[in-house]
C-alpha cells in the first residue's frame, strides 16, 4: 500500500491477468522392490541404464535391476526407485559350502554377500587370509586365488557366508509403514516424493510382489492418492481360464477389482538371461511401464499404451490366440473383461494389447480407458498446482477472469496438441452464492474430453449391382 503522504513519485506493481500453466510430469514410474545394493527405503531417481547400476547387476531374485532394464529397454523415462531389502534383516547364513575353483576362480551358490566370508581348505582345517591368499567380489559371490598365496589352482574350498536374501522380504516390507522415527518405508515413501523432487510417480509397479492380493490392493490405494495407475500382474503359471475367472469372486488370483486405477497384466514374458544363457520369465507390468513412459515422451500421455511392440523380449509365458478380426480370440476375450495382454500374430511381433483399466466392464464411462484416466489426472493436477499463485489474492472480477483465462489458455494448448477434443473453464454465478463468496470460496466449472482410442473399426460393406452399369462404357 502506498504511504499516507509522499512528496515525490512512486511505482506500484500490479499483478493481474492470466498465468501460464505448466504440465506436470507423466512419464514417471514408481518402482518398489529388492536390490542387492542401494539405499534403503529412500526414493531415488534413475534416468538411464547407466544410473541403474547403483542398484547392482541383474541377479536372480532381485526385482529392481531387472525392472530397470525392462523399463529402459523401451526408451526414455523417469523411475523413482524404492529398495526395501535390508541386508541386516533379510539375510541367510550358509556354512561350509563346497566351492571348487575352475583354475583360479570359483563362485558361491548365492551372490550378494553380507559382510566377509570365511574361506577354508577342503578339510576345514586351514583358514585362508583375504587379500593374501584370495580376493572376492561379494556382489557376485566370486572367489579368486592369488598367485603366491596358499590356495592351489583348481582347489576345493569350504566357504561360509551370509547373503542378502530377497525371499525374506514380505508383503509388509513392500507396502511399508511409518516407523518410530517418523520415516515412511516401502511404498509409503512415494508420498514424500513431491516434497523431495517436485513430482509424484504416475505409474506404479512392484514386480514379483503385486501378484499378492495384499500388495495389489495397497498399490491401488497408493495410486488413488498419487493420481497414478497401478500395473498388476497375474501370478506366474496362471492359465488363460484362471485369468478370466480371476475377474470374479470365484477366482483364485489377484484380479478381482473394479478400480479405474488398476491395470491388470497377463501373461508373463520370456527374456534372455545372459548370466545363465537361458530364458527367464519376467512380469509384463515392468515392460508395460516402460512402454507407457516411451509413449508419453514420444507421442503424449493422451495416447493409449496399446498396440505397441514390446522391446527386449524373446517370447511369452503362454501363447494366446490373436486375430484382429476374431472376437472369440483369447486376447480379445481378455480385453473384454478388462485385462491388458499381448498380441502376437503373424508378422506383428509381440505387442501390448488392451486399452482399459480394471474398471471395465463394470464402469462404461470413458474414464475406464487408461489414456483418458491419465489425461484427466494430468490436467487436474497441472491446474491445481498452478493455482498457488492465485491463492489469497483479493476475490474480485479480475481474479475470476484471470483464473478462467489461465485455465482456458491451457485447455487451448492441449487441444492444439491433440490431448483434448474440446474443453473450457467457466464461472457460474448460481454455484457461487454470496454465503460461499463471503467465506473466500469460489467455484469454477471445468469440462473437457480427451480423445478415445480407436479400439474398434467397422466397415459396412455391400455388393452394389448398379456398378455393373459401368461395363462396356468408355472414358
pLDDT in tens, 233-275: 999 999 999 999 999 999 999 999 999 999 999 999 999 988 7
Tell me what pLDDT residue 2 has.
61
- Angle between the 370-386 and 397-417 helix axes, to the nearest 10 degrees? 150
DSSP annotation of 130 reads B
* Tens-digit pLDDT profile for residues 12-22: 787 778 888 99
Confidence grade of residue 91 (pLDDT, cut at 50, 70, 90)? very high
Tell me what pLDDT residue 11 has.
81
Is pLDDT larger for residue 18 or for residue 358?
358
DSSP string, 132-154: TTEEEETTTTEEEEPTTSSPPTT
DSSP string, 38-93: S-BS--EEE-SHHHHGGG----TT-HHHHHHHHHHHS---EEEEEE---TTTSEEE
Residue 41 has pLDDT above 80, yes or no: yes
Are 219 and 207 in contact, with CB atoms under 8 Å apart?
A: no
Tell me what pLDDT residue 428 has.
97
- What's the angle, vertex CA 30, arms to CA 24 and CA 35, rounded to 5? 150
CA atoms within 13 A on the CB side of 392: 2
Cα(11)–Cα(68) distance, integer angstroms: 55
- Angle between the 63-73 and 284-298 helix axes, to the nearest 10 degrees? 40
Tell me what pLDDT residue 76 has.
80
Cα(72)–Cα(289) distance, integer angstroms: 10
Confidence grade of residue 475 (pLDDT, cut at 50, 70, 90)? low
Q: Which residues pair with 423 in a beta bridge?
A: 448
Domain 28-86+180-368, what fold?
A: Rossmann fold (3.40.50)
Please give the distance of CA 332 from its chain centroid, rounded to a whole number: 24
Tell me what pLDDT residue 8 has.
83
* Tens-digit pLDDT profile for residues 197-211: 999 999 999 999 999
Q: Return the C-alpha cell found at 359.
A: 474398471
Tell me what pLDDT residue 17 has.
80
CA atoms within 13 A on the CB side of 443: 12
Per the listing, cell 485385462 goes with 339
Least confident of 8-17, 75-84, 109-118, 137-146: 8-17
DSSP annotation of 226 reads H
Whole-number percent of the chain with pLDDT over 90: 92
Least confident of 4-18, 70-84, 149-163: 4-18
Tell me what pLDDT residue 299 has.
96
Residue 406, helix vs strand vs coil: helix
**Domain residue ranges in the chain:** 28-86+180-368, 91-164, 400-475
What length does the chain have? 475
Tell me what pLDDT residue 15 has.
76
Tell me what pLDDT residue 336 has.
98
Cα(352)–Cα(290) distance, integer angstroms: 11
Whole-number percent of the chain with pLDDT over 70: 99
Cα(297)–Cα(373) distance, integer angstroms: 17
Greatest alpha-carbon span in the chain: 104
Q: What is the mean pLDDT of the chain?
A: 95
The backbone region for 198, taken as left when phi is positive above 0, alpha when psi lies in -120 to 50, beta otherwise, is: left
Tell me what pLDDT residue 1 has.
53
Tell me what pLDDT residue 16 has.
77
Residue 170 has pLDDT above 80, yes or no: yes
Amino acid at each position: 500500500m502506498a504511504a499516507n503522504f509522499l512528496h515525490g513519485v512512486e511505482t506500484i506493481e500490479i499483478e493481474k491477468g492470466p498465468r501460464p500453466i505448466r504440465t506436470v510430469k507423466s512419464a514417471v514410474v514408481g518402482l518398489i522392490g529388492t536390490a542387492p545394493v542401494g539405499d534403503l527405503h529412500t526414493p531415488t531417481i534413475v534416468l538411464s541404464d547407466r544410473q541403474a547400476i547403483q542398484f547392482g547387476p541383474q541377479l536372480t531374485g532381485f526385482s529392481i535391476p531387472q525392472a530397470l532394464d525392462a523399463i529402459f529397454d523401451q526408451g526414455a523415462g523417469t523411475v523413482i526407485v524404492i529398495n526395501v531389502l535390508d541386508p541386516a534383516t533379510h539375510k541367510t547364513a550358509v556354512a561350509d559350502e563346497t566351492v571348487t575353483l575352475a583354475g583360479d576362480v570359483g563362485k558361491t551358490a548365492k551372490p550378494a554377500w553380507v559382510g566377509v566370508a570365511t574361506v577354508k581348505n577342503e578339510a576345514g582345517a586351514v583358514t585362508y587370509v583375504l587379500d593374501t591368499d584370495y580376493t572376492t567380489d561379494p556382489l557376485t559371490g566370486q572367489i579368486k586365488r592369488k598367485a603366491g598365496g596358499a590356495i592351489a589352482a583348481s582347489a576345493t574350498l569350504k566357504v561360509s557366508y551370509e547373503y542378502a536374501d530377497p525371499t525374506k522380504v514380505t508383503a509388509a516390507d513392500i507396502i511399508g509403514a511409518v516407523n518410530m522415527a517418523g520415516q515412511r518405508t516401502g511404498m509409503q515413501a512415494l508420498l514424500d516424493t513431491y516434497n523431495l523432487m517436485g513430482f509424484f510417480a504416475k505409474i506404479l509397479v512392484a514386480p514379483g510382489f503385486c501378484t499378492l492380493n495384499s500388495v495389489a490392493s495397497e498399490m491401488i490405494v497408493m495410486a488413488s492418492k498419487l493420481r497414478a495407475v497401478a500395473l498388476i500382474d497375474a501370478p506366474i503359471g496362471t492359465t488363460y481360464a484362471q485369468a478370466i475367472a480371476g475377474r470374479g469372486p470365484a477366482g483364485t488370483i489377484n484380479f478381482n477389482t473394479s478400480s479405474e486405477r488398476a491395470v491388470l497384466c497377463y501373461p508373463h514374458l520370456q527374456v534372455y538371461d545372459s548370466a545363465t544363457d537361458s530364458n527367464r520369465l519376467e512380469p509384463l507390468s515392468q515392460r508395460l511401464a516402460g512402454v507407457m513412459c516411451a509413449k508419453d515422451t514420444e507421442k503424449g500421455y493422451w495416447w493409449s499404451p496399446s498396440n505397441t511392440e514390446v522391446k527386449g523380449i524373446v517370447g511369452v509365458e503362454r501363447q494366446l490366440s490373436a486375430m484382429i478380426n476374431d472376437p472369440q480370440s483369447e486376447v480379445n476375450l481378455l480385453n473384454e473383461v478388462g485385462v491388458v495382454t499381448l498380441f502376437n500374430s503373424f508378422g506383428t511381433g509381440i505387442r501390448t494389447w488392451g486399452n482399459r483399466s480394471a474398471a471395465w466392464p463394470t464402469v462404461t464411462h470413458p474414464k475406464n480407458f487408461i489414456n483418458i484416466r491419465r489425461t484427466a489426472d494430468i490436467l487436474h493436477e497441472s491446474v491445481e498446482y498452478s493455482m498457488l499463485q492465485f491463492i489469497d489474492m483479493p476475490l474480485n472480477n479480475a481474479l475470476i477472469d484471470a483464473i478462467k483465462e489461465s485455465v482456458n489458455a491451457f485447455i487451448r494448448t492441449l487441444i492444439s496438441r491433440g490431448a483434448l477434443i474440446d474443453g473450457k473453464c467457466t464461472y457460474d454465478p448460481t454455484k457461487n452464492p454470496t454465503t460461499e463468496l463471503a467465506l473466500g470460496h469460489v467455484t469454477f466449472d471445468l469440462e473437457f474430453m480427451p480423445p478415445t482410442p480407436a479400439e474398434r473399426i467397422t466397415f459396412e460393406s455391400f455388393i452394389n449391382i448398379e456398378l455393373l452399369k459401368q461395363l462396356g462404357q468408355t472414358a
